[in-house]
Amino acid sequence: MIRRATSIIVAGCSVVALATHVTRAQDSGVTLAVEARAIGLVTRQSHTPGDRTLTEAYLTQPIIGATLGAGWLHAMGMLNLEGLTLRRGELDAGAWGEGYVDRRHPHAYLHELVIGVETRPAALAGSIYGGRGFVPFGSDDPMARPFVSYPVDHHLAQIIERLMVVAAARAGPLAIEAATFGGDEPVDPSTLPLTRRMGDSWSLRATVMAATLPFMLGQAEVTASYANVKSPEYREGQGLDQRKAHAGLRYEHDGGLLTRYALLELARTTDIDRGRDLYTFNAALTEGALCRGDAGVAVRWERSERPEEERLLDLFRAARPATDVSILGVTRWTTLTGAVSLPALRAFGMHAAPFAEVARATADRTTAAVFDPVRVYGSSGMWRLAAGVRVTAGQLAHGRMGRYGVASDSFGGMERASPHTHPGRSRCFS
C-alpha cells in the first residue's frame, strides 16, 4: 500500500511540475496553484493498549491539492490518500474518532471539493461556497499547523469532510460565516456523504481580524463558533446529536528574520438524546512556533476529554455505529508536545524538511466509570517519539484549511505568511 501511495505522490509531483508552468497566469485572468505533499514518519510509543511498546513506519498525510481562480469564480479540491497508507491508523495516544482509538484515523480520499463565488474587496463583501469541505467551525485543520501528530480535540474543535453550503460576509475586520450541512461523518475513506442528510445541521462562526496589534507587531484574530450537528456517529441519522461551541485566539507575525505563531482554543461538545444532555467533553489547547528560515521549534499543551467506548478484539478500534450505552466513561488527556524542524533540502522543485517530535501524555478518569486507563495501558502516562521528513512540491494550494471566500486571509490578495504554510516554502513546519 505504501509503495502504491508513493507512486501516486510521485505522479502528483509530476502534475505539480507541469502546473507550475501555468500557475499565476495573470494575463489570462486565471490563477492556478497545485501542490503535492506527504510525510515519511517513524513513530515509537510506549504503553499502547495492552501495555505494549510499538514502533511503526508509514507515509502519512499524502495529499494532492489545487485551487483555481477565474474572476469571481473560485474552486479548490484536495485528494487525501491516507486510506492507502494508514489503514491501521497512525499511532497517537489519546486520538479518537470514526471507530479508531489511540490511533488517528485515515481521512476521506475526497478530503475537499468546493466551488464558490465572491465579490471583489469592498466595504461589505460576500461569498458563497458549496461542495464537500470544511464547515465554518473552530480552528484550522491540524494538517495545516506545525505538528504532525493531531491533537486529541480534533473532533471537538473541527468539523470536516461534510457536504455543505457556506455563506460569508465581511466588513472591515469582522467576518461572519454561516453554513448548512449534512451531519454524517465518513465511515471510511471511500464513503461519500449522504445527500439526503444535507441540511440537517448548521453552524455559525464570527471572526474579528486585526491587521496590527497596539502592543505588539503581527496579526491577531479572535473567533467564536457554534454548531448543531445531527447524528454524526450514526450514518442513518438515528444516533445522538451534538451541540458544539468553540472560542479561539490566533496570532502570527512574519518579521523577516523570525516568524512567530500562537494559538489558544477552548472547545466543548455535548451529546444530546432527544433534547436531553447526556455527555459533555471539554478541551483546552495552546500551541506556538518560533522559526528562523527553515529551522524552528514548536510547543503544544493540551487537556482534552474523550469518550471511552467498548473496544473490539483489536484494542485500537471501537464498534461503529456507536450508541449511548457503549460509552464506558470519560477520560481526560493531558499532553505536552515539543517539535523541532531542521533546514530543508531542495532539489528538482521539491522541498524536504526533516523534523522530530516528542510527546508526554497522561490519561485520567473523570468519573468512577468502568474504564480504567491503568488497566488498559499498564500506566496512566505514555511517551511518543516521532521523526520524519516533510516532502512538498509546487505552489501552496490551500494554506489555512477551513476558510473560504471573504473569510479567508487570501481574500483581496491579503495572504498572510504563516510559519508552516508559506507559499515560498521558506518557513519551517511546511
- Give the mean model confidence (pLDDT) for residues 237-266: 91
Which of 96-100, 335-339, 385-389 shows the lowest mean pLDDT across its residues?
Answer: 96-100
> Grid coordinates standing for 227?
454548531
Top mean-pLDDT range of 157-161, 273-277, 326-330, 403-407: 157-161
Q: Is the pLDDT of residue 114 over 80?
A: yes
Closest to 351 in 3D by CA, of 61, 39, 4, 5: 39
Q: What pLDDT is stored for residue 66 in this prediction?
A: 94
Closest to 261 in 3D by CA, of 271, 251, 270, 269: 251
3-state SS record for 358-400: EEEEEEEECCCCCCCHHHHHCCCEEEEEEEEEEEEEECCCCCC
- Give the mean model confidence (pLDDT) for residues 256-276: 91
Look-up: residue for cell 460569508? 168
- Give the mean model confidence (pLDDT) for residues 254-265: 87
Query: How many Cβ atoms from other residues are within 10 Å of residue 292's Cβ?
Result: 14
- How far, in Å, CA of 397 to CA of 35, rounded? 6
Look-up: residue for cell 491516507? 82
pLDDT digits (tens, 9 = 90+) for 119-141: 877 789 999 999 999 999 999 99
Comparison of pLDDT for 398 and 274, the residue scoring more: 274
Q: What pLDDT is stored for residue 207 in this prediction?
A: 96
- How far, in Å, CA of 87 to CA of 83, rounded? 6
Q: What pLDDT is stored for residue 211 in this prediction?
A: 61
98: left (phi over 0), alpha (psi -120 to 50) or beta: left
Look-up: residue for cell 468502568? 370
**The dihedral of CA 144, 149, 155, 157: what is its sign?**
negative
Q: Is the pLDDT of residue 12 over 90?
A: no
Q: Three-state DSSP class for 2?
A: helix
Q: What pLDDT is stored for residue 371 in this prediction?
A: 83
- How far, in Å, CA of 94 to CA of 372, rounded? 14
pLDDT digits (tens, 9 = 90+) for 167-225: 999 998 999 999 999 999 999 999 899 999 999 999 999 999 876 555 556 788 999 99
Q: What pLDDT is stored for residue 28 in this prediction?
A: 57
Closest to 206 in 3D by CA, of 245, 180, 258: 245
pLDDT digits (tens, 9 = 90+) for 313-352: 999 999 887 665 667 889 999 999 999 999 989 888 888 9
Q: What pLDDT is stored for residue 213 in this prediction?
A: 52
pLDDT digits (tens, 9 = 90+) for 59-93: 999 999 999 988 889 999 999 999 999 999 999 99
Q: Three-state DSSP class for 1?
A: coil
| Contact present, 322 and 358 (Cβ < 8 Å) | no
| Contact present, 67 and 75 (Cβ < 8 Å) | yes
- How far, in Å, CA of 406 to CA of 415, rounded? 12
- How far, in Å, CA of 45 to CA of 33, rounded? 37
Q: What DSSP character marks residue 412?
A: G
What phi and psi, each to the nearest 5 degrees, are found at residue 293?
Answer: 65, -130
> Grid coordinates standing for 37?
505533499
> Grid coordinates standing for 3?
509503495
Q: Three-state DSSP class for 162?
A: strand
- How far, in Å, CA of 317 to CA of 53, rounded? 17
Q: 278-285: which pairs have CB atoms within 8 A and are 24 or more residues apart? A: 278/240, 278/324, 279/307, 279/327, 279/330, 281/156, 281/305, 281/306, 281/307, 281/330, 283/151, 283/152, 283/153, 283/156, 283/157, 285/151, 285/153, 285/157
Q: How far is CA 182 from the centre of its chain?
A: 19
Q: Is the pLDDT of residue 369 over 70?
A: no
Mean pLDDT of the residues in the chain: 87
Considering the chain, what percentage of its residues have pLDDT values greater than 70? 85
Which of 39-43, 127-131, 161-165, 210-214 shows the lowest mean pLDDT across its residues?
Answer: 210-214
Give the DSSP per-residue string, 226-238: EEEE--SSSTTS-
- How far, in Å, CA of 62 to CA of 195, rounded? 27
Which domains are delineated in the chain?
2-413 (2.40.160.10)
Closest to 34 in 3D by CA, of 44, 25, 45, 43: 25
Q: What DSSP character marks residue 392?
A: E
The partner residues of 280 in beta bridges, in order of sequence, read 270
- How far, in Å, CA of 399 to CA of 429, rounded? 12
Sort strands 345-347 and 219-229 into parallel, antiparallel or unpaired: unpaired
Look-up: residue for cell 464570527? 206
Ranges of H-type helices in 81-203: 82-85, 154-157
Query: How many Cβ atoms from other residues are within 10 Å of residue 276's Cβ?
Result: 7
| Alpha-carbon distance values, 273 to 150, 200, 237, 324, 366 (Å) | 29, 16, 12, 9, 21
Top mean-pLDDT range of 216-220, 349-353, 355-359, 370-374: 355-359
Q: What DSSP character marks residue 194?
A: P
What phi and psi, each to the nearest 5 degrees, are found at residue 413?
Answer: 75, 20
